[in-house]
Amino acid sequence: MAEDHRLTRSEARGVRYARELEGHLGWLDTFSGTALGVLAVASGIYTYLGVSSLLDENGAMSVFAAIAYSVAVSVGIFVFWSYLMRLFPAVRTAQARIGLLVAMGLGSLAIVAMSSWLNAAALAGSAAVEQHLAKTVQDYQTSLERTHDIALSAQSLERDVARVRQSFEDLSELEAEGTLSGLAGRGAVFRVLRQKAAELSALEDQIALQTPRIDTAFERGNAILSRMRALTVEQGPVQARSVEFSTAAVELQGLISQMRQLSVAALVERAAQDLAASVVLPELDGRTAENRGDQAATITSVLDVLAQRATTLENAASDVLALTPAPDVTYAPISSADAVILYARNFLPSWAGAIAIDLLPAVLVLILAVTHAAIRQGREGAAVEDTLTLAELRAAVTALRDVEQVAEGVVTPPEERQPDSQVTPLTGTKK
C-alpha cells in the first residue's frame, strides 16, 4: 500500500507562505546588490574627503593615495556584506550563527575604524574645528578675566599702603607737636616716621602707575578676543581661518603673561618685609640724657608699630598671591578628523549618519536571516514533491522522460523533442 503524502491544511498553508516569501526574495535580489554597491560607493566618497583632510600635501600622489584608500574601503564593505547576506541566512546551526555574528561584529568594528570616523570628519569636520576654536576662545576669555581680576586685587593693596603711610604721617605730625616723645620739633623720631612715610608714598606711586597699564592690556585683550570670535563664524575654509586664529592666540597669550607681570602683589610683599627690616636710625639729638632716653623709647615704640603695620601689609599681599592663578591656555591647531573625535558628543547626529551608512547592511542581513528561517519553518513537515513549483515539476518530468527513453534504448534527438510546455507536469502525458 502506497504511503499517503497528502499535506494537511496547516502544512499546505505553510508551503504557500514559504513560496510567497521566496517570491519576494527573488524580486528583492534583483536590486539588493546594486543598493549595496551604492552604499559602498557613498561611504568611499566620504572616506576620500576625510582622508584628504588628513593629508598635508595636495599633489597628485596624495590624491592617488586618497583614491586608493577610498576604493579599498568601498570594495571591502561591498565584499564583507555580500558574504554575510549570502551565508548568514543559509546556516542553520546555532554554532555557525554565533560564529558569523562574531565575524560580523569584528568586521563592523573594522569598518568603523577604517571608514566611519573619516565619514564623520567629512560630514562635520569643519563644524568640529570651529567648535575647537570657540572653546579655545572661551578658555582664553576665562584666563584673561581671571588674570585681570587678580591684577585688580593687587591694585587694591594701594589703599592698604596709603592707610599705613597716612598713619606714619599723622604720627610725625604728632611728634612735631611734641605729643609722642615730649620734644616738639623735627628731631630723630620725626625723621624716622617721615622716612617710612616717604617709602610707602613711593610704593603707592608705583602701584598707581600700574592701573592704566592693566586697563590698557585688558582692553587690548578683549579686542583680540572679539577678532578670534569673529574668525570662528566667518565664511570660508576653516583651515585658513585657523592660521589667523593661531596668530591672534599667540598675541593674546603674550598679553596675558604681561598682565600677570603687572600685578604688584609680589612688590608690596617685598616692600612690607623691608619696611621694618631696613630702618635707618638717626642720631639722637636730645640736649640732655633724659631727652635722648625719651627719644630712644619713642623710636622703639615706633619700630614696634612699624613691624605690626608691615606684617598687616605683608599678609594682605600674601592673600592676593595665594589666589588661584588663571589656567594656562595654549592653542593647538587640530585637524578635522581629530576635532570630530575630540568633540564627538557635540556631533552625535553626524557620527550616527557616518556609522549608519556603513553598518546599514547589517539590518538587511538580519532581515534575510529571519525570512529564510520563516521559509524553512513553512516547509517543515512537507515532502519534497509537495514543495515543488510548476517549473520544477516540468524539469523533473522532462528528466524522467529522458531516463525512460535511455532505458528503452530510444533516444530522441534534442531537435525532435516536444517543448516542455506541451507536457502536463503531473502526469507527464502529451496534450
Of 335 and 171, the structure prediction assigns the larger pLDDT to 335
Q: How far apart are CA 297 and CA 289, in angstroms?
A: 12
Q: What are phi and psi of 402, to 5 degrees?
A: -65, -40
What is residue 299's predicted lDDT score, i.e. its pLDDT? Answer: 63
Q: Is the pLDDT reported for residue 6 higher than 70?
A: no
Confidence of residue 110 (pLDDT cuts 50, 70, 90): very high
Query: Out of 180-189, 241-250, 355-364, which region has the weakest mean confidence (pLDDT)?
Result: 180-189
SS3 430: strand
For 124-148, the pLDDT digits (tens) are 888 888 889 999 999 999 999 999 9
Q: Is the pLDDT reported for residue 396 higher than 90?
A: no
What is residue 380's predicted lDDT score, i.e. its pLDDT? Answer: 63
Confidence of residue 102 (pLDDT cuts 50, 70, 90): very high
What is residue 421's predicted lDDT score, i.e. its pLDDT? Answer: 45
Mean pLDDT of 399-408: 75
Q: Is the pLDDT reported for residue 388 higher than 60?
A: no
What is residue 280's predicted lDDT score, i.e. its pLDDT? Answer: 47
What is residue 419's predicted lDDT score, i.e. its pLDDT? Answer: 52
What is residue 193's predicted lDDT score, i.e. its pLDDT? Answer: 73
Q: Where are the alpha helices (DSSP H) in 59-116?
A: 60-87, 94-111
For residue 91, how many other CB atoms are within 10 A of its CB? 15
What is residue 430's predicted lDDT score, i.e. its pLDDT? Answer: 39
47, 102, 329, 349, 427 from 111: Cα distances, Å: 11, 14, 36, 18, 55
Mean pLDDT of 289-313: 67
Q: What are phi and psi of 430, to 5 degrees?
A: -80, 150
Q: What are phi and psi of 128, to 5 degrees?
A: -70, -40
Of 224 and 15, the structure prediction assigns the larger pLDDT to 224
What is residue 109's predicted lDDT score, i.e. its pLDDT? Answer: 93
Mean pLDDT of 216-237: 89
Query: Out of 29-38, 287-296, 340-349, 368-377, which region has the weakest mean confidence (pLDDT)?
Result: 287-296
Mean pLDDT of 404-408: 74
Q: Is the pLDDT reported for residue 52 higher than 90?
A: no
Of 2 and 168, the structure prediction assigns the larger pLDDT to 168
Residues belonging to the chain: 431
Percentage of the chain with pLDDT > 90?
Answer: 19
What is residue 276's predicted lDDT score, i.e. its pLDDT? Answer: 64
Mean pLDDT computed over every residue of the chain: 78
Q: How far apart are CA 107 and CA 127, in angstroms?
A: 29
Confidence of residue 431 (pLDDT cuts 50, 70, 90): very low
Confidence of residue 296 (pLDDT cuts 50, 70, 90): low
Q: Is the pLDDT reported for residue 188 higher than 80?
A: no
For 308-321, the pLDDT digits (tens) are 777 888 888 888 88
204, 361, 369, 371 from 83: Cα distances, Å: 83, 11, 13, 17
Which residue has 604681561 as its cell numbers? 258
Of 407 and 363, the structure prediction assigns the larger pLDDT to 363
Query: Out of 245-249, 283-287, 342-346, which region has the weakest mean confidence (pLDDT)?
Result: 283-287
For 318-369, the pLDDT digits (tens) are 888 888 888 888 888 888 878 888 888 888 888 888 888 899 899 999 998 8
Q: Is the pLDDT reported for residue 75 higher than 90?
A: yes
Q: How far apart are CA 187 and CA 301, in angstroms?
A: 16
Q: Is the pLDDT reported for residue 183 higher than 70?
A: no
pTM exceeding 0.85? no
What is residue 292's predicted lDDT score, i.e. its pLDDT? Answer: 57
Going 275 to 280 to 285 to 289, the CA torsion angle's sign is: positive
Q: How far apart are CA 39 and CA 33, in angstroms?
A: 10
Q: Which residues pair with 430 in a beta bridge?
A: 423
Structural element, H or E, at residue 31: helix 9-54
What is residue 289's predicted lDDT score, i.e. its pLDDT? Answer: 60
